[in-house]
Structure 1
C-alpha cells in the first residue's frame, strides 16, 4: 500500500482561508515563541487578511489550485500501474483530514509506504506531515509507516526533470546559444537551514544533477515565495530576475524552471508566470515558464520506481524536536 502525501491547495476561492489558516498555524512552517493559543489566534487573523488579498491571484489561474486534483489523479494512475491500494493525504486541507486519517487507520496492510510529493526533504514539508501523523494516528498505525524521505538525486526524478526541460527547449526551439536557465525553488527561512534543515543542500543537489544534461547553458538556482520580514535563503528569484543583465552573458531568452514544485499551482501559474516573467521581459529578454512535471507519463513511471525503493525511514526520524504523544499501545 502507498500513501501519497502533498501540500494540498484550495479547490475553490472559499477554501483559501481555511487553507492559509492551516498553513500559517503550522509551527513547522511558521516558527514563533508564542503560546500555541496566541500563535493560532494571530495567524488566523493574518490568514483572513491574506485570503482576501490573494483571491484575485487564484481567480487569475482559474479560481483554484490544481495541486489537489493532480495529486488525486497521480494516485489513481499509480493504483492502475502498481495494482496496489493508494491513499492520499493533503496537509493543509482540513476538511479532508478526518476521512484521510480514518482510511489510513483502517488500511489493511502490514506496511504503508509513505511517498511525499516533495523531492527535497524539509522539516517544513515532509517533516510537518510526519509530526501531524504522530499527533493524530494510533501508535500501531505509525509503526506501519515507511517513509520515502527524499529523492532529490534519485535517477528517476532527475531524468524526469531533464526530459521535461529538454522537451520544452525543443518545442520552443531554444538552445544554449541564446537561452539561460533559471531554476526556482520554494524558499525557506535562513534560520531553518542554520538549525539543521537540509532543504537548501537538497535543492542544490537536484539542480546540479539536472544540469549535467545541459552543460552548455548559463544557469542559476534561486528561491521564491518569501513572506514575512526575516532573512530567507538566497538568492531570491525576484532579485535574480531583476538583475539578469549582470549574469545573462548576452543571452536573449530565459526559461524559469520550477525546481521543487512537481505540480503547477499558485507559485508557478501566478508567481512565476505573472510576476517573474515580466521582470525578465523588462530586461529585454524573451521569457518562458517551463511546466512542472504534473501528470507526465514518465513522471508517473518515476514515482512508481521511487515508491518501491528499499530505503525508508520511520515517522519519528523525520520530526524536528519530536514530542512524546499518546499511544494506543501504551497502558492507560
Structure 2
C-alpha cells in the first residue's frame, strides 16, 4: 500500500432532516462564508437564531428531494473507489457536518506517513469553501498533522475535469438528438458576494475559465455563465441565474432548448436538485422553451478517473496561501 495518503474535502450536507438545523448553524457561523464585523460570539448568537428560523423552510426543500442531501454518500462512494484505484488510504472531511469532524481529524492525525494530498471537491477556489477548510485544519489539527497536508488549490481548467462536463453534455445531446446550434448551454455556478472578489478572491475568474474551457468543445452552442443561490443583502456575482432565466427571450437567439450545466458542483445537492430543478427550470418552460437540468459528475467513473489524474499531477499549494488574512511572508493585505 502507498505511503502517501489522500484526503477528499467537501461541503457536507444534512443526511437527514434532523441534521438541517445543525448544518445551517455550522454554515452560517463560519465567518469565511458569512462575513460580518461582529465579534465571533455575537456573530454566532445572531446567525444561530437565523439558522433556527430558516431551518423550517430549508427542511421542506430537503424533504422534497428525498429527506436529505446525497453529497455525503457521494463523497464517501468516491473515496472508496479511490482507495481501490490508488491502493492507498483515502480520508474524507465534511465541513458542515460537525458530528463527523472528530473521526476525520483523528484519522488524519494518526496517519503514520509524511504526506497527505488534499483534494477539494470544489473545482474553483474560493476562501469560502477550500479556504474555510484550510483554516479549520490550521486551527484544529496538531502541527505535525498540518505539515503532512499537500493541497490541490483548484483545477478549473484541468483537461480531465473539463472533459467530464464535456462528456455529460455530449451524452445528453446525443440522447435527446439535439444539435449544438439549437441549444443554449446555461452554466450555473454557486454565487459569492461581489465584495469577496473585490478583495482578492479568485472564484469568479476560475469559474469563467472553467466555462470557457468546457465551451471549447461546443463552438456552435450558445453559452452563458451565471451565478445562483444568493443569500442575504448586498451585491453578488452577476448575472444571477434567476435573471438569466426570466429574461431568456432577450438573449437566447431563438434557440428552444436550454441545458443547465452545474459547473461549480461535483455532486448534486439542494442547489441543483431543488433550486435548479424546481425554481429555475419552470421559469424557462413557462415561456414555451424546453429546459433540462444536466447532472453533476456525482459517481461517474470518468469523474473518479479525473480525480486520480489530478491527484497524481498537481503542484501543492501551501495552506497559508489558502486561508484568508494569512500570508507566510506577511506581505499580503489582511
- The two structures have a TM-score, normalised by structure 1, of 0.96
Please say if residues 321 and 327 of structure 2, whose CA atoms lie closer than 8 Å, have aligned partners that are also in contact: no
Task: Return the match for 2:196 from 192, 195, 201.
Answer: 192
Please say if residues 143 and 314 of structure 1, whose CA atoms lie closer than 8 Å, have aligned partners that are also in contact: no
The equivalent residue for 2:74 is 70
Task: Return the match for 1:138 from 132, 137, 142.
Answer: 142
Against the structure 1 CA distance between its residues 323 and 313, is the aligned structure 2 distance closer, same or farther, given a 3 Å change threshold?
closer
The equivalent residue for 1:329 is none
Moved more, 174-183 or 40-49: 174-183
Structure 1: gaps (5+ residues): 325-332
User: Tell me, what secondary structure is at the counterpart of 2:188?
Assistant: strand
Task: Return the match for 1:304 from 278, 293, 308.
Answer: 308
Moved more, 310-319 or 183-192: 310-319
The equivalent residue for 1:294 is 298
Please say if residues 122 and 266 of structure 2, whose CA atoms lie closer than 8 Å, have aligned partners that are also in contact: yes
Does residue 183 of structure 1 match 2:179?
no
Please say if residues 187 and 223 of structure 2, whose CA atoms lie closer than 8 Å, have aligned partners that are also in contact: yes
Following the alignment from structure 1 to structure 2, what is the Cα–Cα distance between the partners of residues 44 and 323? 31
Task: Return the match for 2:283 from 279, 285, 301.
Answer: 279
The equivalent residue for 2:59 is 55
Q: CA deviation at 1:309?
A: 1.4
RMSD of aligned Cα (Å): 1.1
Question: CA-to-partner distance for each residue in 1:286-330, whole Å, 9 max, x for gaps?
Answer: 110000111110000000111111401121111011399xxxxxx
Does residue 38 of structure 1 match 2:13?
no
Task: Return the match for 1:216 from 208, 213, 220.
Answer: 220
Does residue 5 of structure 1 match 2:9?
yes
Task: Return the match for 1:120 from 117, 124, 132.
Answer: 124
Q: CA deviation at 1:282?
A: 1.6
Task: Return the match for 2:249 from 245, 250, 270.
Answer: 245
Following the alignment from structure 1 to structure 2, what is the Cα–Cα distance between the partners of residues 271 and 2? 32
Q: CA deviation at 1:241?
A: 0.4
Structure 2: gaps (5+ residues): 329-334
Question: CA-to-partner distance for each residue in 1:69-121, whole Å, 9 max, x for gaps?
Answer: 00000000000011010000000000000111111110122100000000000
Does residue 97 of structure 1 match 2:101?
yes
Please say if residues 131 and 322 of structure 1, whose CA atoms lie closer than 8 Å, have aligned partners that are also in contact: no
User: Tell me, what secondary structure is at the counterpart of 1:222?
Assistant: strand
Following the alignment from structure 1 to structure 2, what is the Cα–Cα distance between the partners of residues 77 and 5? 15
User: Tell me, what secondary structure is at the counterpart of 1:29?
Assistant: coil
Question: CA-to-partner distance for each residue in 1:243-278, whole Å, 9 max, x for gaps?
Answer: 000011111111111010010000000000000000
Does residue 150 of structure 1 match 2:134?
no
Task: Return the match for 1:23 from 21, 27, 32.
Answer: 27
Q: CA deviation at 1:283?
A: 1.7
Moved more, 22-31 or 301-310: 301-310
- The two structures have a TM-score, normalised by structure 2, of 0.96
Following the alignment from structure 2 to structure 1, what is the Cα–Cα distance between the partners of residues 113 and 45? 39
Following the alignment from structure 2 to structure 1, what is the Cα–Cα distance between the partners of residues 308 and 327? 32
Moved more, 204-213 or 281-290: 281-290
Please say if residues 242 and 283 of structure 1, whose CA atoms lie closer than 8 Å, have aligned partners that are also in contact: no
Please say if residues 186 and 224 of structure 2, whose CA atoms lie closer than 8 Å, have aligned partners that are also in contact: yes
Please say if residues 224 and 238 of structure 1, whose CA atoms lie closer than 8 Å, have aligned partners that are also in contact: yes
Does residue 14 of structure 1 match 2:4?
no
